């Protein structure tokens, strides 16, 4: 059973602060890692993907991957109220081309 662990939150940060979301995974052969954002009542949408160890930046978002520690994180700089959502971590494995999702971290950005 592949497991993905995320802090369920809720995580609250003031507007303009940095939000830090963490994820650990159990499948050592996972090669691709994705962060999805899901607004309440909506479907998930991709915000970041990362495939190699280190950092990847895209605008206000930075994904960090450490395969040795089986850890992936997402930093959101200059958090905005519109960032309030649930963030889902999804490692994938090419064994069956499957994606496994964490239960998500609920983020609230307080104006």
Partner 1 sequence: DAGITQSPRHKVTETGTPVTLRCHQTENHRYMYWYRQDPGHGLRLIHYSYGVKDTDKGEVSDGYSVSRSKTEDFLLTLESATSSQTSVYFCAISEQGAFGELFFGEGSRLTVL
Residues that bind partner 1 (CB under 8 A): 1, 31-32, 34, 36, 42-46, 49, 51, 88, 90, 92-94, 96-104
Could you tell me the smallest distance in angstroms from the CB atom of residue 33 to partner 1?
11
Closest CA to 15 of 86, 110, 106: 110
Could you tell me the smallest distance in angstroms from the CB atom of residue 74 to partner 1?
16
Given the complex with partner 1, which of 49 and 108 has the nearer CB atom? 49
Q: How far apart are CA 37 and CA 105, in angstroms?
A: 10
Could you tell me the smallest distance in angstroms from the CB atom of residue 8 to partner 1?
8
Given the complex with partner 1, which of 88 and 107 has the nearer CB atom? 88
Given the complex with partner 1, which of 6 and 73 has the nearer CB atom? 6
Burial 56-87 (b: 16+ CB within 10 A, else e): eeeeebbbbbeeeebebbbbbeebeeebbbbb
54 preceded by a cis bond (ω within 30 of 0): no
């Amino acid at each position: 059973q592949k497991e993905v662990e995320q802090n369920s939150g809720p995580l609250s940060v003031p507007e303009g602060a940095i939000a830090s979301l963490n994820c650990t995974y159990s499948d050592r052969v996972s090669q691709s890692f994705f962060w999805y954002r899901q607004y309440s009542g909506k479907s998930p949408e991709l915000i970041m993907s990362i495939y190699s160890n280190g950092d990847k930046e895209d605008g206000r978002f930075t994904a960090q991957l450490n395969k040795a520690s089986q850890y992936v994180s997402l930093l959101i700089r200059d958090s905005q109220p519109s960032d309030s959502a649930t963030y889902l971590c999804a490692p994938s494995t090419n064994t069956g081309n499957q994606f496994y999702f964490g239960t998500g971290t609920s983020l609230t950005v307080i104006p």
